Amino acid sequence: MKISALLVNYHTAPLLAGAVASLLAQPDIDGLEIIVADNSESDEEYARLRSLLPASVQTVQNARNTGFAAACNAALTQASGDAILLLNPDARLQPGALARLAATLFASPRTGAVGPLTFWDDDARFALPPSTFPSLDDYLRRAVSRLHPTLGTRYAQAFRRKALQMWTATAPVRVEALSGGHVLLKRSAIDKAGGLFDERFFMYWEDSDLMQRLHDAGYRLFVDPVARAVHQYDHHPGKDAMMSRGWPLYHAKHFQGRLRARLAEWIERHAAPGPALPPELQPIAGEPIRLPVPDALQAGWVLEVSPALNFVPAMGRIGHGPCAEIPAECWQRFTGGRYFARLGSPTDAPELQRCWSWLN
């Protein structure tokens, strides 16, 4: 079995070189093929990129910024692997992760893609959330959750249960979707699903579209918690704007004319606005952020950090003791808005919770 790794550069040469180094350090992998597509529209950036990469790494210089989806597709045409790894420049695979992903991927013919358990920080304290999957059913559930606070709470609790299951798993967990920033796919599954990415998605939603097509082709998706990665994800309002631009295309492609979609649209037009900030929300500041843990939670707690008031999605840290900390390397990656922290027991419906917010 041969693995081809595809990466896209857009003025991130030093970061991308670190991602490549994490691949070259993987043990028990023979014949790994690494292909980098450069979208930077700069000869200087391309020269810098090339100077930071080993000669064994293939590079493709695009004359213009074709977008993430198109760049990955171009790199795929150069790939010869039976498995295709997609890896973001700001992601790193931990030692042994690639071999573990490959073993899990090919353990069953029904498995189409596998992702690692991914952490937000180098010390692997905060795990990233499960990838949200905008299926037709979830689209309707999310809309219905706006009709009443109780429904909103149930929707958020369902996501929290999925997150806790993934964060505490010791064996592969079946999931609805995987991030295109760190995923290993069977080449045959890509072909059966109609190709890698729909190039009409310039950036964002292309991986959700792929996951939908893998489901339609009969494949299952898994996160293997034994395989670990770090993704230094940051969030700012500009990303929300880019995501919103891709939604109409995704909606038209997968939901147009469907009864459940029309019902969800009607609810979204007529439902009340989102909830106001609750009065018990406490302001926090400092570097790093240190949160006091109530006595009742000190034996075991989960700290969630999110840009969303309902914590869908949220990063999570499971710990114990009298203080829960958000290190500066993490909270500083949230910029340009209000963000939230929540502390509770690592159970499906914790009876005791504390919530905070801050502005970055």
At 34-72, the pLDDT tens digits run 999 999 999 999 999 999 999 999 999 999 999 999 999
Spatial distance between the Cα atoms of 148 and 153, rounded to a whole number of angstroms? 9
- The string of pLDDT tens digits covering residues 293-352 is 999 999 999 999 999 999 999 999 999 999 999 998 898 888 888 999 999 999 877 777
Q: Where are the alpha helices (DSSP H) in the chain?
A: 13-24, 43-52, 68-76, 97-105, 136-144, 149-168, 187-192, 206-216, 237-254, 259-270, 328-331
> Tokens 């034994």 correspond to what residue?
226
Are 341 and 291 within 8 A, CB to CB?
A: yes
- Cα-to-chain-centroid distance, residue 245: 18
pLDDT of residue 161: 95
Q: Which two tokens stand for residue 170?
A: 């010791």
Closest of 47, 285, 27, 243 to residue 132, by C-alpha: 243
Amino acid at 246: G
Are 121 and 329 within 8 A, CB to CB?
A: yes
Q: Which two tokens stand for residue 217?
A: 């082709």
Are 317 and 297 within 8 A, CB to CB?
A: no
> Tokens 């009742």 correspond to what residue?
296
Q: Which two tokens stand for residue 86?
A: 């997609």
* 103: CB partners within 8 A, 6+ apart: none
pLDDT of residue 356: 92
Question: How many other CB atoms sit within 10 Å of the CB of residue 164?
Answer: 19
Closest of 90, 40, 84, 109 to residue 235, by C-alpha: 90
Helix then strand then coil, in percent of the chain rounded to 5, is: 35, 25, 40
Structural domains of the chain ordered from first start:
3-117+165-236 (3.90.550.10), 282-359 (2.60.40)
pLDDT tens, position by position, for the chain (360 residues)?
A: 899 999 999 999 999 999 999 999 999 898 899 999 999 999 999 999 999 999 999 999 999 999 999 999 999 999 999 999 999 999 999 999 999 999 999 999 999 999 999 999 999 999 999 999 999 999 999 999 999 989 999 999 999 999 999 999 999 999 999 999 999 999 999 999 999 999 999 989 999 999 999 999 999 999 999 999 999 988 877 777 778 888 999 999 999 999 999 999 999 999 887 777 777 788 887 778 999 999 999 999 999 999 999 999 999 999 999 999 999 889 888 888 899 999 999 987 777 789 999 888
pLDDT of residue 125: 95
What Cα–Cα distance (Å) separates residue 38 from each residue in 3, 179, 296, 337? 20, 21, 52, 31
Respond yes or no on whether the N-terminal peptide bond of residue 313 is cis (omega within 30° of 0): yes
- Cα-to-chain-centroid distance, residue 246: 17
H/E stretch holding 324 reads strand 323-326
pLDDT of residue 336: 86
